[in-house]
Amino acid sequence: MVLSRFWYLVLALALGASAYLLFVATAVHNREALRAAREGLQPDVQVVASYLRDDARRRSSLLIAPSLDEEIRSQVAKSSAAADKVPAEARDKARSALRKQGEAMPADGRFDALFAVDAAGRVVAQTGFDQAAGLEGFELGGYPLVADALHGWVRDDAWVLGGRIYRVVARPIELEAGALPAGAIVGARIVDDTFARELSRRTSAAVGFYAAGKRVASGAPESFDTGQLDFITNDLAAVERDPAYKDKGLTDVRVLHGDLAVIYARLPGEAWDLGAGFAVARLAHLSASPLEFESQKTEADKAAVPMGPLGAVAAALALIGLLFSVLEHTRPLHAFRSEVLRLAKGEIEQLTASRFRGVYRKIASDLNDGIEKVAAKGGGARRADLEQVLGPIPTQPAMSAFAFPGAADASSDVAATSATTPSAPRPLPVAPPPPPMRALEPTPIASSISSSAPPPPRPVPPRPPGRAEEADVEPSTQPLPEEMAEWLGVFDEFVRVKQQCSEPTEGLTFEKFQVTLRKNRDALVQKHACRRVKFTVYVKEGRAALKASPVRE
Question: What letter does residue 302 receive in the DSSP assignment?
Answer: H
Q: How confident is the model at residue 234 (pLDDT cuts 50, 70, 90)?
A: confident
d(CA 61, CA 105): 11
CB-based burial label for 261 (10 Å; 0-12, 13-18, 19+): buried
- Domain 63-186 coded CATH 3.40.50.1970: no
Burial 145-169 (b: 16+ CB within 10 A, else e): bbbbbbeeebbbbbbbbeebbbbbb
Residue 535 — φ and ψ, nearest 5°?
-105, 135
Domain ranges, ordered by start, for the chain: 63-186, 383-454+472-551
The residues pairing with 113 across neighbouring beta strands, listed in sequence order, are: 188
C-alpha angle with apex 345: 343 to 348, nearest 5 degrees?
A: 40
Non-local (6+) Cβ contacts of 359 within 8 A are 1
- For 490-513, what is each residue's pLDDT tens digit? 999 999 998 888 898 888 898 888
Q: Tell which residue, 244, 327, 438, has the closest CA to residue 6.
A: 327
In this structure, of 173-177, 412-416, 494-498, the range with the lowest mean pLDDT score is 412-416
Q: What is the pTM of this model?
A: 0.52
Identify whether the C-beta of residue 523 lies closer than 8 Å to the C-beta of residue 424.
yes
326-350: average pLDDT: 83
How many angstroms separate the first and last alpha carbons of the chain? 43
Q: How confident is the model at residue 414 (pLDDT cuts 50, 70, 90)?
A: very low
- For 26-54, what is each residue's pLDDT tens digit? 888 788 887 888 888 888 888 888 888 89
Strands 206-211 and 277-283: antiparallel
- For 54-68, what is each residue's pLDDT tens digit? 988 999 999 999 999
Q: What pLDDT, on a 0 to 100 scale, did the predictor assign at position 135?
A: 61
Non-local (6+) Cβ contacts of 408 within 8 A are none
pLDDT over 60 (residue 479): yes
pLDDT over 60 (residue 449): no
Q: How confident is the model at residue 134 (pLDDT cuts 50, 70, 90)?
A: low
Name the CA radius of gyration of the chain, rounded: 56
d(CA 10, CA 207): 52
d(CA 132, CA 161): 12
Compute the mean pLDDT over every residue in the chain, rounded to the nearest whole number.
Answer: 77
CA 294 to chain centre: 15
Give the dihedral sign, CA 73/75/79/85.
negative
Q: What is the 3-state secondary structure (H, E, C) of 6-22?
A: HHHHHHHHHHHHHHHHH
Q: What pLDDT, on a 0 to 100 scale, did the predictor assign at position 455?
A: 42
Identify whether the C-beta of residue 541 lies closer than 8 Å to the C-beta of residue 533.
no
Non-local (6+) Cβ contacts of 316 within 8 A are none
d(CA 148, CA 68): 18
pLDDT over 90 (residue 115): yes
Comparison of pLDDT for 137 and 251, the residue scoring more:
251
Identify whether the C-beta of residue 401 lies closer than 8 Å to the C-beta of residue 546.
yes
